[in-house]
Structure 1
Amino acid sequence: MRVPLPIEAKDVPRLDAVLYTHGNSDHVGKYTPSALAEKNAWFYGTFPVVKNLEKLGVPVEQTKTIGIRETFK
């Protein structure tokens, strides 16, 4: 059974950043990253996650690779 989303990515009014802890399909949807990228948000994740986000249409200029156990503000 599919659960309705609380909000569609295209309907998010403003977004500063998205943090992906891992790239499983239940976290990184096929269409959500590119829709959120249109909001000019930054996307943070590990190297494999960032490479996948770029394949899904997130511009490289909006991505930041974060190492395991690395901290950031």
Structure 2
Amino acid sequence: MNQDETRAYYNIPEHAAHMCSVLMDAHPDWTVWRVDDLWHARYKTWPPNRSISDTNAGLLSQTIRLGGTVS
């Protein structure tokens, strides 16, 4: 799939919800959601107004895994 096809696929709510579940299963201390074309994640101890985001779920997962923004 190209980038436009991937975005269209995840514009279907069921597909986005499934990816959020996959990411939260892989990173249990994180909450993941999608708004518009952005994937967001928040570490369990962060305040509600703090999150990281990316247009690519894989890159967001990599950022979570690397833990570079976790404090």
Name the structure with the higher helix share.
2
Normalising by structure 2, we get a TM-score of 0.26
